[in-house]
Amino acid sequence: MKAVILDENQKKASEHFSGACIVVAGPGSGKTRVIAARIIRLIEKAIEPETIVAISFTRASALEMKNRCISMCPKSRRVNFGTFHSVFFKILRSFRGFTYESLLDEDEKRRVIRRLMATHCVENAQDEELLESIITEMSYMKNDMLALADYKPQNMSASDFKRVCNSYENYKASMGKIDFDDMLILTHKLLLEMPGALESIKSSFRYILVDEFQDINRVQLEVLKLIAGKSGNIFAVGDDDQSIYSFRGANPEFMDEFENFFTQSKKIILDINYRSCKEIIDASNRVIMHNSERNDKRMKNSRSESGCVNVIAPKDSQEEAQTISKDILSSIKAYSMRYCDFAVIYRTNTQSRALVDVFMDYNIPFSIADRVVSVYDHWAARDVISYLKIACGAGKTEDYARIVNRPFRYISREAVSGAKGSGDFIAALKNNSNLNMLQIKALESLERDFTMISRLSPSDAVSYIRTSVEYDRHIISYCNDKGIKCEGIFEVLDEVEESGGSFCTVGEFIKHIDRVKEELLLQKTRKKSHADCVTFTTMHGAKGLEFKRVFIIGAVEGLLPHEKGLDGGILEEERRLFYVALTRAKDSVLITAPKVKYGKPSQESRFLEELLEYHKAGAVAGEYIYHKKFKLGKVLGSDEGIIRVKFEDGIKMLDYVMCLKNRIITAWNKSGQDSGQKK
């Protein structure tokens, strides 16, 4: 067996033998190594590998764990490695007789739910983002063990949601199918109803190891409690500071619940970060310490190399994306870095719009780590694009049919259907004998709107559609009818309007949108080929990744923390998202806080003030700072927050905290390099 080098706490965790143990493992602290080392130690102590079950959240992480263990100890190939779903399905196959033919795969599930949404006349049933939101909500409801009657959906009306959910359950029952969420619920039900099955599973799974424990949901926790029992051998590894999936049912309080349920459990903290430089670790510590609901830990650095955390304030998202593009190109040239050494991390997918536009202009290859989505594919964006296409003469029948009642112009479905087969959609409607004068006047007004839109610049055209055509009013009415919030839809429309500002004519803008869609179609191929490219990812999608240099964009109030997080009262999770983004970086981080967002002045994220907090004494003598006016300087000493700095043109006295808060000092490290990059 190969020896594994471990630090003191890692060794303590890996040598834990019996009873419950929770390991609080901070970012970059080597949790995978610890889990693998413990599996090997158990085998060394003559524990039968078949009685060990190691559970991960993804097939990729489960396979990585398996391969690592086998490379250290061939006997470990007999260990039960798997995801929650694969382990639970194995139980259902043994005791409920399910087969792989019983499974409804995710693609089929999407097709079925989309069809049911259309059957129940759910508006925008063909929209990909709406479908994704509904599927996420259905999963959350089940994973959190909530009753359909009590659940309040966020993305469609409660009545529509209930109809779709009930029809979906009926479909599965009629086809004899279960989906991945059912695996969890049915396993929990089985263990409660069949004591014999529970005892059999307990004897089979005598040693349970769970990776990424902070990501588990309610039903997974309840199953683990049943299988392990009060005094069971369960070894959970996670970090409450990285619990960011509440929309899936995860809750950092489950780590506390673990300790309360397993009353004799041990707690071990892995607090050495082997990934990031000291400056990044210190900055992330300063941020996360503002959360109250967490284990008290402060990460320490292992690496001796210095790095930096910088904050800049570009004019807008366009300049933000251009600055990042130039930074990447210059770093590759100066330091022989590769595109794959960089990542751009954002709070929501809509923020990637400007990045995609600018990176295409600069010919910088990029790959989107999350599900590939375009702001232009959102149903509201497609409505606006249909208006633009018609106005510039590129509209098709489906474009007319899409927008003729958005906002509502009282044109019946029968009239719309009859006009689809004609060469002139509007004329066919106006010639319909069943239309009254009010409807005809609405159509004539629409024709005048098309003429006006054709004369405007793209950005002004979108603004005209939203205000004069009253599309924004339509959105408000739509959201009120459905009982949902409209901020997310307006964010999409703001992005489309802002994007149009880079083009002179509506026709040019439409061609650009088509080019973006073509580029995004290439993303799936690029992912599979593992090409050398910059990674674009949301903060949720960044979990588990690491890069030499990370850009965190949109650090302004309303985006970070996001207004949804503030409305939902989960500010601490928003802070954890920022913490996760920061700790993806090995060497350096550049955070951007645009001065203007969607044409309006923005306010810097509250998290930036937390990030830049320093002890009152100021900087430490010997450190280097970078001043906007005086450039690079060496700190000679400090007294009550006033620092003496030696610059090229002499010694200056500076108010350290004031300079930090006003971005007069934007970079610092011990080596005197303002970029934080190394050759």
Q: Which of 450, 479, 512 is the last residue before a domain boundary? A: 512
Question: In this structure, what token pair is assigned to residue 2?
Answer: 């190969």
**pLDDT score for 672:** 43
Examine the domain organization and report whether 448 and 332 are in the same domain.
no
Examine the domain organization and report whether 621 and 574 are in the same domain.
no
Give which of 182, 185, 239, 231 is closest to 208, Cα–Cα: 231
Q: Is 622 annotated as a binding residue?
A: no
* List of residues 6+ apart from 486 with CB closer than 8 A: 475, 476, 478, 479
Q: Is 28 annotated as a binding residue?
A: yes
List 601's β-bridge partners, or say none: 596
At residue 90, φ and ψ (nearest 5 deg) are -60, -40
Q: Which residue has the tokens 């009262």?
A: 569
**pLDDT score for 226:** 95
* List of residues 6+ apart from 603 with CB closer than 8 A: 556, 557, 558
Examine the domain organization and report whether 489 and 421 are in the same domain.
yes
Give which of 25, 38, 93 is closest to 208, Cα–Cα: 38
Task: Tell me how far apart the alpha carbons of residues 1 and 168 are, in angstroms, rounded to a whole number.
Answer: 50
Examine the domain organization and report whether 471 and 549 are in the same domain.
no
Task: Tell me how far apart the alpha carbons of residues 538 and 543 are, in angstroms, rounded to a whole number.
Answer: 9
Q: Is 84 exposed, middle or buried (0-12, 13-18, 19+ CB in 10 A)?
A: buried
Examine the domain organization and report whether 483 and 384 are in the same domain.
yes
CATH number of the domain at 474, please: 1.10.486
Is residue 371 assigned to a domain?
Answer: no
Contact status, residue 30 vs residue 299, Cβ threshold 8 Å? no
Torsion sign (Cα): 547, 548, 553, 556: positive
Identify the three-state secondary structure at position 104.
coil
Task: Tell me how far apart the alpha carbons of residues 338 and 534 are, in angstroms, rounded to a whole number.
Answer: 9
Examine the domain organization and report whether 415 and 495 are in the same domain.
yes
Is residue 423 assigned to a domain?
Answer: yes
Task: Tell me how far apart the alpha carbons of residues 648 and 306 are, in angstroms, rounded to a whole number.
Answer: 22
Q: Is 569 annotated as a binding residue?
A: no
Contact status, residue 565 vs residue 291, Cβ threshold 8 Å? no
CATH number of the domain at 539, please: 3.40.50.300
Contact status, residue 322 vs residue 600, Cβ threshold 8 Å? no
Identify the three-state secondary structure at position 21.
strand
Q: Is 27 annotated as a binding residue?
A: yes
Examine the domain organization and report whether 210 and 84 are in the same domain.
yes
Examine the domain organization and report whether 418 and 465 are in the same domain.
yes
Is residue 218 assigned to a domain?
Answer: yes
Q: Which residue has the tokens 């398996």?
A: 66
Report how far apart, in Å, the C-alpha atoms of 158 and of each of 220, 477, 660 are: 26, 16, 48
Examine the domain organization and report whether 226 and 192 are in the same domain.
yes
CATH number of the domain at 152, please: 1.10.10
Examine the domain organization and report whether 438 and 503 are in the same domain.
yes
* Full DSSP string of 609-621: HHHT---TT-SPT
Is residue 521 assigned to a domain?
Answer: no
Report how far apart, in Å, the C-alpha atoms of 578 and of each of 105, 352, 540 are: 33, 17, 10
Give which of 69, 104, 226 is closest to 175, Cα–Cα: 104
Q: Is 641 annotated as a binding residue?
A: no
**pLDDT score for 619:** 64
Is residue 294 assigned to a domain?
Answer: no
Domain count, the chain: 5
Q: Which domain holds residue 468?
A: 376-512
Q: Which of 560, 582, 607 is the last residue before a domain boundary? A: 607
* List of residues 6+ apart from 375 with CB closer than 8 A: 349, 350, 352, 353, 381, 492, 495, 496, 499
Identify the three-state secondary structure at position 471.
helix
For the chain, which residues score pLDDT lower than 70? 1-4, 372, 433, 523-530, 565, 567-569, 613-620, 661, 663, 666-679
Is residue 520 assigned to a domain?
Answer: no
Q: Is 211 exposed, middle or buried (0-12, 13-18, 19+ CB in 10 A)?
A: buried
**pLDDT score for 675:** 40
Q: Is 637 annotated as a binding residue?
A: no
Examine the domain organization and report whether 380 and 481 are in the same domain.
yes
Examine the domain organization and report whether 27 and 60 are in the same domain.
yes
Q: Which residue has the tokens 């508006």?
A: 123
List 642's β-bridge partners, or say none: 639, 655
Is residue 125 assigned to a domain?
Answer: yes
Q: Which of 124, 152, 177 is the last residue before a domain boundary? A: 177
**pLDDT score for 569:** 58
Number of other residues whose CB lies within 10 A of the CB of residue 370: 13
HSE at residue 429, side-chain half, CA atoms within 13 A, is 28
pLDDT tens digits, 247-285: 888 999 999 999 999 988 999 999 999 999 999 999 999
Q: Is 525 annotated as a binding residue?
A: no
Task: Tell me how far apart the alpha carbons of residues 669 and 237 are, in angstroms, rounded to a whole number.
Answer: 33
pTM, to two decimals:
0.84
Report how far apart, in Å, the C-alpha atoms of 355 and of each of 130, 322, 349, 399 are: 23, 8, 11, 28
Q: Is 30 annotated as a binding residue?
A: yes
Is residue 155 assigned to a domain?
Answer: yes
* Full DSSP string of 108-131: HHHHHHHHHHHHTT-TTTT-HHHH
